Amino acid sequence: MSSPTGRAKPDIRRLLLSRRDALSEGERATYSGAICERARRLVEERCASGSIVALYAHKGSEVETAALDERLRASGFRVAYPRVVDESRVLAFFEVAIDALGATRWGLREPSADATAVAIETIAAFVVPGLAFDRAGGRMGWGKGHYDATLTAARADAECIGLAFECQVVENVPRESHDVALDAIITEVATHAVAE
């Protein structure tokens, strides 16, 4: 585990994206399967069946989440996906099947505006992507602040879980006052539960 914390955030993003992109398609698929199984177990331990879990639809070399969607639904959970709405940094969530997501001009897959909306305070767990993570719950995304704003608006007891490949875990992620710490980071190697 290296520590690129002395670098500026754009440099850290480039470094960690290159690490993630260096994984082969086969490695990403295998690791994603292991990560999704660990995530399913953690959600089942920490959330009541029937709860709503917010997932993301992977983009590029992110941890793939289709298997987690399938496993959570099979275990009785409801699944919602985010949508960027207007100028708000807080994401809106919609209960929809993963194969019903449409592509945006930014290459994201999002629910349509006519999907069933889910109130953010009803979501029991948020499963989030990122570029860099640390074992203290630090997370660095693309710098738009959507997930930090969303997790700040979520209910206080909602689980916040980051999915990452082990190559994305660093010693320290630089944090600012608005950055929200995660409750757990899940990789193909381990579930890194964050002490409160």
Q: What is the pLDDT of residue 1?
A: 47
User: In this model, does residue 49 exceed pLDDT 80?
Assistant: yes
User: In this model, does residue 162 exceed pLDDT 50?
Assistant: yes
CATH classification of 9-193 is 1.10.10.10, yes or no?
Answer: no
pTM: 0.90
Q: How many CB atoms lie within 10 A of CB 6?
A: 9
101-149 pLDDT per residue, tens: 888 767 778 888 889 999 999 999 999 999 899 998 888 877 676 888 8
Angstrom distances, CA of residue 105 to CA of 90, 108, 109, 110? 19, 7, 9, 11
Q: What is the pLDDT of residue 196?
A: 58
70-111 pLDDT per residue, tens: 999 999 999 999 988 877 788 999 999 888 888 876 777 888
| pLDDT tier for residue 175 given thresholds of 50, 70 and 90 | confident
What whole-number distance in Å separates Cα of residue 157 and Cα of residue 42?
15
| pLDDT tier for residue 160 given thresholds of 50, 70 and 90 | very high
Q: What is the pLDDT of residue 2?
A: 46
Pairing mode, strands 159-163 and 123-128 = parallel
Q: What is the pLDDT of residue 99?
A: 86
Mean pLDDT, to the nearest integer, of 59-70? Answer: 95
Q: What is the pLDDT of residue 90?
A: 86
Mean pLDDT of the chain: 89
Nearest to 55 by CA among 170, 147, 172, 153: 147
